[in-house]
């Protein structure tokens, strides 16, 4: 399977609830590789660009207010089929529909405060990674000397 990169945000609710480690741990345990991780305050400009597809939805203003309300952890994870894998690990958009074992199914109750964001396609991932990270912030594991055995097809 093709190695992919995907953008994940640990949203303000999860950062405030002390869930950073638990969420990072799930992606690490699954075998994805972290390419970038930073704690940051999302600006209104970044939030509006990131959630551009939802600009005409009734929940857009609340979404931008929430994601800019306190720090998030922005991350890029890499691995075979990483985009769909992260989405599967996250669960459904509404935590009420997320099975136990998924991040939202185990850690969230609220649709608005649903703990994590994950890119929904490879195209979205490429667009979103660029919004949150400069090229220099993205680690190149294959040329890093870390000696990791990269996942095979």
Binding-site ranges for ligand UDP (CB under 6 A): 59, 63, 93, 111-112, 114, 117, 120
Question: Which residue lies nearer to ligand UDP by CB, 61 or 150?
Answer: 61
User: CB of residue 117 vs ligand UDP: minimum separation in angstroms?
Assistant: 5
Number of H helices, E strands in the chain: 7, 4
User: CB of residue 91 vs ligand UDP: minimum separation in angstroms?
Assistant: 9
Q: Which residues pair with 3 in a beta bridge?
A: 80
Write 56-64 long-range contacts (CB < 8 A, 24+). 59/112, 62/112, 63/112
User: CB of residue 142 vs ligand UDP: minimum separation in angstroms?
Assistant: 29
Distance from C-alpha of 52 to C-alpha of 60, rounded to nearest angstrom: 9
Q: Would you call 52 a catalytic residue per the annotation?
A: no
Q: Which residue minimizes CB distance to ligand UDP?
A: 93
């Amino acid at each position: 399977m093709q190695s992919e990169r995907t953008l994940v945000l640990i949203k303000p609710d999860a950062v405030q609830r002390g869930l950073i480690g638990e969420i990072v741990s799930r992606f690490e345990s699954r075998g994805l590789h972290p390419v970038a991780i930073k704690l940051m305050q999302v600006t209104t400009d970044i939030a509006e660009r990131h959630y551009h597809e939802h600009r005409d939805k009734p929940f857009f203003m609340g979404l931008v207010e929430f994601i800019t309300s306190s720090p998030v952890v922005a991350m890029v994870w890499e691995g075979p089929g990483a985009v769909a894998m992260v989405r599967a690990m996250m669960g459904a958009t509404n935590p009420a529909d997320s099975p136990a074992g998924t991040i939202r199914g185990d850690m969230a109750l609220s649709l608005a405060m649903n703990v994590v964001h994950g890119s929904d396609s490879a195209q979205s991932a490429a667009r979103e990674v660029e919004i949150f990270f400069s090229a220099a912030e993205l680690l190149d594991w294959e040329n890093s000397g870390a000696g990791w055995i990269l996942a095979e097809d």
